[in-house]
Every structure is written in C-alpha cells, then in structure tokens.
Amino acid sequence: MSIGQALSAARRDAGLSIDDISAKTRLRATVIRSIEADDFSLCGGDFYARGHIRTLAGLVGLDPAPLLAEYDATIGTGEDGPATSQLYETEASGRAITRTAQKRSPRWGLAAVATTLVAIIIFAGIGLMNRGKKSTPPAVIAAGVTTQPPTSPSPTPLVSTPVISPPPATTTTEAPQSLPSSAVAEAGVHVVLRITTTKCWVEATGSDGPSDVLYQGVLSPGATQTFDDPQRVSLRLGNAPATDITVNGVDLGAPATKNSVTSVSFGPGNPLLAQG
C-alpha cells in the first residue's frame, strides 16, 4: 500500500473527510487530495512534503516513521535532513493551535480590569482614612494656648474668651504601608515561561542586549524556565502559541500574535502598563 493509500484509508477509518483534515491542519483540500493520490508536486519540495506526511499521519492515528522512510526511499531527493523535518513539525503545530491561543488573548484585558479595580480599592481606603482624621474635633485654642476641659467645677465664674478655630488641615495622600498580595513588584523583572502544548525553541536575553543570553534551547510541554534581570528580559519564541508567560506576578498567557515565531520584551512593574 502506497503512502497516499495508507493515509486515505486511515482517514476514512477515523471518520474524517478531507474538509475536516483541511480545517484541522490549515492545508488546502487540493493538497490533501494530491497527497492521497501519491502526487507530492503541490507540497513545494521534500521539506514540506515530509512535514505534511507527518502531520496527516498524526491526525489519522498512523505512525509517520514508515511513511517517511518510504518517501525517502522512493520519492525524496535527500536534500533535506531530519533537523529541517523537525522544524517543520514545530511550525505546523503552531499553526494548528493559533486559534486556541487567540481565544486566550482576552486574559490580557481581564488582567487590566483587575489591576484597575485594585487601584480603586486602595485609593478608596486612603480616602476613608483621611475622612476619619478630619472628623476628630480640634482642640480649643484660647489666646494662642491650648486648653483642656476643667476636671472639676470652679467656684469662680469663667470669663468667656473668644475661641479661635485652627486653620483647616491640608489633606495629603499617603501611600499605603503595604500593597495587596496581588500588586506588582516594581523592583527588577521576573519572568516565568511555561510550555503548554508542543515543543518550543526559546532564547532569553537580559538588559545588556543580544550578548547577555539568559537561556537558549528547545523546551518540551510542561517545562518551565524562570528569568530575572534588574532592567529588562527579552524573549524570542519559535512557537509562541504553545507558551504561557507570567511577568512580575501577572499571568499574561500566550502572546497575542498571528505568527508562530515572535519576540516580546518586558521591563519592571506591571506588564500591562509598562510592557515594551
């Protein structure tokens, strides 16, 4: 059984149509039909043909290794190596989950609303504290001297003395002694990167630029890396939709981007207000 026949039979056994496969992989239906007919001319070369075979086999429950071996033995020119095939797999996986990542993007807006509510609560508390201070009756000042109420009645009638009220106190806004636990720290940059669905190539650099490499490599699903710098942390991601980023205690989720390969950079403070 040829490559195309094996993929076609497995697709039908899985109860999937060509349109179903096209929707899941973002491949055109004409390309899928050509592959199932063992015509790989629309793939654009061995690099993409191997990647399409691997993607289609994974969706219909086939082991791609025998199919790729048959392709290399009967059709492939041998110009592309295993590394380029793995790179295509990462790229194709990123495209397949782009729509899922885009659904998560409203988390950025929700986090902004939450931060605004925290700020309103803080300033409301400060206003109540200042109002309480104003409600304390001022001491009575007679002839420039503060007097206290007599502790016992005096036999001699007191002479009425004009009472001078003190000038209104100037209200100053005082910073709270401690911020809520959800507030963002202002000192330095603390980034936590977690890989969610598929492998992702990551390069992290510090505030000294490209020469200040904090990490470089490929991370698997479930892996977590932490990066710290006094001024700035920059990330370059090979599969951005497969990541979840937390900056200075604020969970940003995956970067809102239409491309798998993207770059993001973070400075101190709240990333929703100070990202750049």
**β-bridge partners, 234:** 205, 265
b/e sequence 75-100, b meaning 16+ C-beta within 10 Å: ebeeebeeeebeebbbbbbbbbbbee
Whether the Cβ atoms of residue 245 and residue 272 lie closer than 8 Å to each other: no
Whether the Cβ atoms of residue 7 and residue 18 lie closer than 8 Å to each other: no
Q: How many residues does the chain have?
A: 276
**β-bridge partners, 226:** 192
pLDDT digits (tens, 9 = 90+) for 203-254: 999 999 888 999 989 999 999 999 999 989 999 898 889 899 999 999 989 8
pLDDT digits (tens, 9 = 90+) for 119-171: 677 766 676 566 555 444 444 333 344 445 555 555 555 445 555 555 555 54
pLDDT digits (tens, 9 = 90+) for 175-198: 444 444 344 445 799 999 999 988
Residue/partner pairs of 64-70 with CB below 8 Å, 24 or more apart: 67/3, 67/6, 67/7, 70/2, 70/3
Report how far residue 72's alpha carbon sits from residue 77's, in angstroms, rounded to the nearest whole number: 7
Task: For each of the domains in the chain, give its residue range(s) and CATH number, in order of start.
Answer: 3-96 (1.10.260.40), 183-274 (2.60.60)
Residue type, position 265, single letter:
S
| pTM listed for this prediction | 0.35
pLDDT digits (tens, 9 = 90+) for 13-28: 999 999 999 999 999 9
Whether the Cβ atoms of residue 234 and residue 205 lie closer than 8 Å to each other: yes
